[in-house]
Amino acid sequence: MQSRQEERGTSAGAEWRWGLAAVIVFALWLDWPGIKTWFSADDFAWLGLRLHVHDFDTLVWALFHPFAQGTVRVLSERVYFLTLSSIFGFNAIPFHVVTFLTQAAALALLAVCMRRMTGSTAAAFAAPVFWTCSAMTAQAVSWSSAYNEVLCGALLLAAFYFLLRHIESNRGSDLVGLWICYLLGFGTLEHVVVFPFLAAGWALCRARGYLLRTLPLFVPAAVFAGLHFALVPATTDPLYQLHVDASMFPTFRIYWLMATGAFRAPDDWFAPPHPAGLVLSLSLSISLAAFAAFRAWKKDFRGLFFLGWFVFMVGPVLPLRDHVQDYYLTLPVIGLAMLGGWGIGVAIENRRLPYVALAAILAGAFCLYSARDLRIELNWYYTRGRRLESLIEGIAAERKSHPGAIILLNGVSDRLFWSGFGDHPFRLLGLGQIYLAPGTESAINPHPEWGGISDYVIPPAQARAALSAGNARVLTIVSGRLLETTAAYRRVLEAEMDNLSHSIVDAADPASASRFSPEWYPPEQDFRWMPRTASVTLEAPRKPGMDLVITGFCPAVLLAQGPLHLTVSANGTRLGIATVNAPGQTVVLKFPIPPQLAGEGPMKLDLSVDRVYRAPGDKRDLGFIVRRFELRAPS
């Protein structure tokens, strides 16, 4: 008899290990495009961190100095990037290998926790499958800068695993493991402060005698939060401004829809979801809520705990009304995966065909639909990274062939630029003197809150001189390839400069400073902020039928209360009122100039906006960003 029991135990153990291996292999297959993805955006800032480390003092600075909105994530950003970049340099694959191994450990921990919480093997395997299929994990598994989400998830689940063991066994070693994982979590992501609420919530649901023993966990969280708000200066980036108000409810609704299947395309979270995704989201919402409520009616509150996991984990990002991101859901969706996995386990245990069929249909629909969206997003990130990698490799090859030459890039789109240029990837390869071809910078939204584009802007006269002396090369991006077009671009630039006159005023050009009234704020990079009212002087058009063209930019925070209206007058004659409703995008505003204003002499433009914005810690009334005024013939 003992031998048969041992055989069954051995068989069950083997089945468990093979099942867990199958889950991890499935995750590897599904996340494969992300594992191949190259660096982008913030990655280059972190990759460049090692360039600042020269001795012990600079190492301490690199590890603990607040960066990125005042965060200090020592393990998941500083140690991660410093170590791997020092060993592997510009190779992205080792970064993704570490990310996947960490995520595999998190999946295994989730499965183990689910088996302890529910006693169901089916629930234990279903939960990590649901988490893997969630499209909200795409950025976390493909973008190295989001490794903090993955590592924090693994440590939170490890701490929770030790919590479950300690409640069952009361062993001191499990308590030590809990505290080690919990405290390490403070070096990964600020979300770790909600772990005490999770621990207390589980004790309240399943082990009320342990509730008081969770109270010490709140002490490190309170100290961490206090130090963070006391020592870290508030960010001036409007995207990261906290809005602790009623706007948190619609933000929660958006996150809930995204988490339950109503996925949106990258960079368009506020667009209406696909009808099929909305139907799936509503179906899952009703089913999960009904299941949790039914179990609570039966005095089993585990479903409420799983929902609470989602609420507590998403809570810290709800005040970020203007910065909705999919990777913020990497940790919250664990709670929904737990609830869904438990639902599968209960349905199988009850063996009632209607419940099993409903659970299978909902689970299958979510996995198929969300996994499809996951792959779409992973491929999107892979393609973006591949384009950037090809561009940088092409520039490096061009610089090797023509050392010392200025490189002018033509055809850089707004999306390509902000996928990496802002964090200066070229310095990592020792590449300097790389600029946007004069005139092409107007196609790129300046985003002053991200650092702007001034480092890549070269005056047309300087570019012309370098081209004439043979000291510059022009590379044009065509269908993802770099083509050398120096001669053709030189002719275009010379023709444009020969036609320039005082009918063009650049906001940041020192030679044009006298044309701006004193109300204007000083130039920043390649633009100026105007207050509520301001004026600027141009030469009047020499012939009738010209348009005044104003190129500007309006951050999203300025349009939070609705469109902005810009009124423009010339020499006392109103030219019109423009409505600006494109947040975070370059806008080109055209105003026909009345014939009577044509002729010699100056033309004074008076501008006014109907609303201004004052950023925290900034005493300026910010009305609108202007980059250029010019006169053009109607197109």
Task: Say whether pLDDT at 417 is over 50.
Answer: yes
d(CA 504, CA 594): 18
Q: What is the pLDDT of residue 585?
A: 79
DSSP 8-class letter at 75 = I
Residue 404 in 3-state DSSP? coil
Residue 234 has pLDDT above 80, yes or no: no
* pTM for the predicted model, two decimal places: 0.80
Over residues 586-615, mean pLDDT: 86
More confident position, 223 or 494: 223
Q: Which fold has domain 504-632?
A: Jelly Rolls (2.60.120)
Quick one: pLDDT at residue 509?
A: 77
* Mean local confidence (pLDDT), 302-308: 94
**Which is more confident, 607 or 18?**
607
d(CA 178, CA 194): 14
Residue 55 pLDDT greater than 50, yes or no = yes
pLDDT in tens, 208-229: 888 888 999 999 999 988 887 7
Of 154-163, 587-596, 612-621, highest mean pLDDT:
154-163
User: Which 3 state secondary structure label does DSSP give 20?
Assistant: helix
The confidence score (pLDDT) of residue 270 equals: 47
Question: Which element (helix H / strand E) includes 153?
Answer: helix 147-169
Q: Are 217 and 196 in contact (CB under 8 A)?
A: yes
Residues 6+ apart with CB under 8 A from 633: 545, 546, 547
According to the model, what pLDDT value does residue 3 have? 54
**Does 5 score more than 60 pLDDT?**
no
Check: CB of residue 236 under 8 Å from CB of residue 616: yes
Contact 397, 364 (CB under 8 A): no
pLDDT tens by residue, 528-560: 899 999 999 888 887 788 888 898 888 877 887
The residues that bridge with 527 in the sheet, in sequence order, are: 524
Please write the tens of the pLDDT for every residue from 246-300. Answer: 888 988 988 998 888 765 544 454 455 677 778 888 888 999 999 999 999 989 9
Asked if pLDDT for residue 513 goes beyond 90, the answer is no
Average pLDDT, the chain: 86
Backbone angles phi, psi at 590, to 5 degrees: -115, 135
SS3 509: coil
Domain ranges of the chain: 15-384, 402-498, 504-632
Of the segments 23-37, 66-80, 317-331, which one has the largest average pLDDT value?
23-37
More confidently predicted of 1 and 164:
164
Question: Is the CB of residue 522 less than 8 Å from the CB of residue 528?
Answer: yes
Contact 271, 264 (CB under 8 A): yes
More confident residue, 239 or 280: 280
Contacts of residues 469-474 at CB distance under 8 Å and 24 or more positions apart, as own/partner, are: 471/404, 471/405, 471/406, 472/405, 472/406, 472/407, 472/408, 473/398, 473/402, 473/405, 473/406, 473/407, 473/408, 474/407, 474/408, 474/409, 474/410, 474/437
How confident is the model at residue 378, as a pLDDT? 92
Range 402-427 average pLDDT: 86
User: What is the per-residue pLDDT across 446-473, written as a single tens digit (0 to 9) for each?
Assistant: 777 677 787 888 877 788 888 888 888 8
State residue 444's pLDDT score: 82
As a whole-number percent, the residues of the chain with pLDDT over 70 amount to 92
- Residue 235 is predicted with a pLDDT of 64
